Every structure is written in structure tokens, then in C-alpha cells.
Amino acid sequence: MDATSLRAAHAALRNSSPLVHCLTNTVVQTITANALLAVGAAPAMVDEPAEAGEFAAVASAVLVNVGTVHQRTAEAMRIAARAAGQAGTPWVLDPVAVGGLAFRTGLAAELVGLSPAVVRGNASEVMALAGAGTGGRGVESVDGPEDALEAAGELARRTGAVVAVSGPVDVVTDGHRVVRVGGGSVLLTRTTGAGCALGGLVAAYVAAAGDALTGTVAAHAHVALAAEAAAATAAGPGTFAALWLDALDAVDGDALTRAQVSW
């Protein structure tokens, strides 16, 4: 994998317009859908248990985000993850706020056993899911990506998933290789749902690229480049959010080859 593979992943995404089945939290559904549309993917929010398995089997990829989970959506997530696995559909687990609350922590532990292609979270979430920490302060991490590198590698080797840890410099590993993605903007942390939307973009890119590590790195690079462009003219977090969606649309394959990616 190198910079040219990121360009190829972007071209595949634009050409295939993957359908991403999002079982995500209620706070971020709109921004996740808009971010997916901006990069050329097609979002669908189907969280009814009676439909979740059927839809996961025909989608290009599935996102499972436990941010505002309750009993009904938890069951839909289990059904969707199992159906995705049976259909060979790649799916992404975002273990939001795992570690501090027993219900979601138990659910995430159950889901990670259902073979996600990618686990994406902040350092505290990843460490808690790996059994190496107790979580952060709600959705906020109290650890850095480098602090979580050992736990992320162990989790990747144990589950077969690519594990991505977000922070000032994102860390992505398959348990053997480690890739770092820099850039971005601190305004991402002051915009509701940017990290959760990233989970959706990871799902889209993995489906398009056909490789979990390449797709995950491409998604992180795409988000970082768009954040830099938006922050350059944003007056604050409100204007940044709108400008970021515009910038997600504007990032092209050549731009991805210039992203701050350390292989």
C-alpha cells in the first residue's frame, strides 16, 4: 500500500457509489448522511430489527455505532452484524463511549466477536474494548493514539479487524503494519458528529477499495484534508461544519496522494 493506492480507492468510491447501511446514533444521523453523500456514497439509516438483517445483506457496507444505543437498536445491530458476516459485507464498529457504561460495553464486546472489518474509535474507546482501559469521559478520550497503539495492535490480531484510533495524528493498524495520518483541524473536535461520520466514510471506502487497511487510511486522509481546507476560511465551528461538507466533496484522488500519511 502506498499513496497511489489512496488515489485508486478514491476513484473506486466515486465510480461505485457504495450503499452504506448506517445503524448509528440519533445525534449524528444527518451529518453522517451528508458526509457520505459529499464523498459520493449513498447512505441509508435502517435500524428496525425486522429489516436490519435483510438490508445489511444487500448493502455495500454497514456501520454500527453504539452512541445512543437502546434495546431495540442493539438487537438491530446484532442482526445486521451477523447478516453482514454471512453475506460477506464489510462492516465497521464504532464503540462510542465504551468502557464507562456496562450496557454498551457489553454490547460492543459482543459485536467485536462478530468479525467487523474495521474498529474505529478514540484511544480510550479502543483501549477499553481491548481490555486495556476503562474508557474516557463520555465520548471524549483521556488517552492519545500512541497510548493505545499496543492495545489496538492486540485487538487487531485477536479479531482480524483493522483498528483505527483517532486523535491529532490518527493511528491505523492491522496488527502487523502501522500507518499514521496527520493533518486535520482541532475544529473537528468541536463539531457534532465528525468522528461518527468518519465511521461511515470508512465503511464506504472499505467497500469501494476492497481492502480494509487501504480503505480505512483513505477515509482518514480524506477527512483530514477536508478539515484543513474548511478550517482555513471558517469563522468558527458553525461555519466549519458547512465548509467541511463542501470540502469533503472537493477532495480528489490527487489530493489524497499528498495527505500527511506515514507508511
CB 62 within 8 A of CB 81: yes
Kindly give the parts of the chain with pLDDT less than 70.
134-142
User: What confidence score (pLDDT) does residue 36 get?
Assistant: 98
Q: 137 forms bridges with which residues in the sheet? A: 140
User: What confidence score (pLDDT) does residue 100 get?
Assistant: 81
* Residue of 236, 232, 223, 227 lying closest to 196 (CA atoms): 223
User: How many degrees, rounded to 5, is the angle at CA 166 between CA 112 and CA 148?
Assistant: 70
User: Which pTM does this prediction carry?
Assistant: 0.96
Tally of CB atoms within 10 A around 170: 26
User: What confidence score (pLDDT) does residue 11 get?
Assistant: 98
- The span from the CA of 31 to the CA of 27, in Å, is 9
- The span from the CA of 120 to the CA of 126, in Å, is 8
DSSP state of 20: E
Tens-digit pLDDT profile for residues 126-148: 999 999 876 655 545 567 889 99
* Residue of 190, 161, 166, 191 lying closest to 176 (CA atoms): 161
* Residue of 259, 207, 237, 177 lying closest to 40 (CA atoms): 207
204 to 114, 131, 190, 191, 249: CA distances (angstroms): 19, 28, 24, 21, 14
User: What confidence score (pLDDT) does residue 140 get?
Assistant: 56
* Residue of 3, 7, 1 lying closest to 252 (CA atoms): 7
Q: Grid coordinates representing 251?
A: 477532495
Tens-digit pLDDT profile for residues 157-191: 999 999 999 999 999 999 999 999 999 999 999 99
Q: Which SS3 state, helix, strand or coil, does residue 99 take?
A: coil
